Amino acid sequence: MNEARPESMSAFWMPFTNNRDFKSDPRLLVSAEGMYYKDVDGNQILDGTAGLWCVPCGHAQPRIVSAVREMIGQLDFAPTFQMGHPAAFDLAEKLMDYTGHKFGHVFYTNSGSEAVDTALKIALAYHKARGEGGRTRLIGRERGYHGVGFGGLSVGGIGPNRKAFGPLLPGVDHLPHTHNLLKNAFSRGEPDFGAELADELERLVTLHDASTIAAVIVEPVSGSTGVLVPPKGYLKKLRQICDKHGILLIFDEVITGFGRLTTPFAADYFEVEPDMMTTAKGLTNGVIPMGAVFSKKHIHDAFLDAPAGIELFHGYTYSGHPVACAASLATLEVFKEQQILEHARGIQPYWEDAVHSLKDLPHVIDLRTIGLIAGIELEPIPGKPGARAFQALKKAFADGILIRTTGDIIALSPPLILEKQHIDDLFGKLANVLKNLD
Ligand SMILES: Cc1ncc(COP(=O)(O)O)c(C=O)c1O
């Protein structure tokens, strides 16, 4: 397989990567099937992260692969501006079914970042359409990740992502994050402490006045900053405060959507209905880039009072791309026919026990689990934040498992099709890695 190695790695400016380090010691994936990648040297790599939280139904899922092949041959591209094609409409209806008809409409994008920026724009335009154009303020949360567009970056709460790119959007504020190692370490599921942090929204309302606030956006479970699970009751409180003040609540479900918590969406898991949900990744099983914003009917309908013509001056050339729609339709079929959620629910307790079996290993200062997600927080090496977890990533890859790290936190999010033997293999190898770190 060595012939697949690229001649030069210089030209590709890799995203969110230490390019110099990677290119001196590359990790190259050349194929994938089911629970496994294969690297350029022919080694099998067990996928502990579904790529990047992307592949709930497993890699190279035959039904999805053939749906994509078929659509490329039939309709390679079709515009959705003042035109349409059947798959985009079929998919929208099927997605509404998948949400249990809690939402009325879906707007297609190509990524999570675009879904977030779309939802923020819809929130602003919605208030304007209703005659409340003063509601321009957007509220995110510390340690939130909402992609890399200027909207998502502005409401996002990760310092290093933001600091080189200012000025960001004006009129944005942030809730405090809910991570509390002192009170909540080693929780299973939702931690007990911290629901009252939602009351910070009341403080922001008092400060800015509700009439200036358009929307609050949060990840129900923060993924990219290391699996921060919401405290019990926190999301319900946010919902109540938003309702009280006419503020829209947006759940960014780019990682939690499509089964990650063993329910269709995190909104179902936490029994909280947001006004909009942003999704991507699992929407097409990661096969073709696609994002989507789900909106309540009343939000969409507010635009119908506008003078006849285009209701929303927004969209992407590839919104509702036929091949992405085909991938997503096939993904929904696989979810149903292969009972992916039921399987995930069945295996979740075994997963949770396996995660918590790491408790007494060196450097482990917290373990967090919810659905088929795990956060494993390590004690940082003094003066070298992130170095210990990054060392774990490299050792894990060499041992045949793919993990993801953010700071000194290892985040795991396997394809939902995994079986007990994969869990045993993943945690057996990970335990070994943890025992051999600096
Ligand atoms: C919660 C959340 N929102 C938005 C995004 C951005 O998605 P994309 O990378 O597809 O733009 C991500 C990506 O990981 C995410 O986790």
Q: Which atom of ligand 1 is nearest to the CA of 116?
A: 4
Ligand 1 proximity of 39 Cβ (cutoff 6 Å)? no
Q: What is the pLDDT of residue 143?
A: 97
Question: Going by CA atoms, what residue is nearest to atom 13 of ligand 1?
Answer: 147
Taking 50 as the pLDDT cut, the residues of the chain under it are 1-2
* Nearest ligand 1 atom to alpha carbon 52: 14
The confidence score (pLDDT) of residue 308 equals 81
CA 146 – ligand 1 centroid, Å: 6
Q: CATH number of 65-337: 3.40.190.10, 3.40.1190.10, 2.60.40.740, 3.40.640.10?
A: 3.40.640.10
Q: Return the pLDDT at 420.
A: 98
CA of 116 to the centre of ligand 1 (A): 8
Query: 275 CB under 6 A from ligand 1?
Result: no
Q: How far apart are CA 242 and CA 205, in angstroms?
A: 10
Give the integer Cα–Cα distance in Å for 321 and 77: 6
| DSSP 8-class letter at 241 | H
Cα–Cα dist 17/152, whole Å: 20
pLDDT at 231: 98
Ligand 1 in contact with 255 (CB < 6 A)?
A: yes
Mutate to test the pocket of ligand 1, among 224, 228, 250 (most ligand atoms within 8 A of CB): 224
C-beta 219 within 6 A of ligand 1: yes
pLDDT of residue 427: 98
CA–CA separation, 367 vs 63, rounded Å? Answer: 36
The pLDDT, as a whole number, for residue 132 is: 97
Distance 113 CA to ligand 1 centre (A): 6
| CA of residue 263 relative to chain centroid, distance | 14
- CATH 3.90.1150.10 is right for the domain spanning 2-57+339-435: yes
pLDDT at 3: 54
Query: What is the side-by-side strand order in the sheet with 373-378?
Result: 364-370, 373-378, 409-412, 404-406
Separation of first and last alpha carbons in the chain: 32
Testing ligand 1's pocket by substitution, the residue of 258, 281, 290, 294 carrying the most ligand atoms inside 8 A of its CB is 281
- Please report, for the chain, the start and end positions of each structural domain, with discontinuous segments joined by +: 2-57+339-435, 65-337
Strand partners, 47: 402
pLDDT of residue 323: 98
The CA distance from 386 to 409, in Å, is: 8
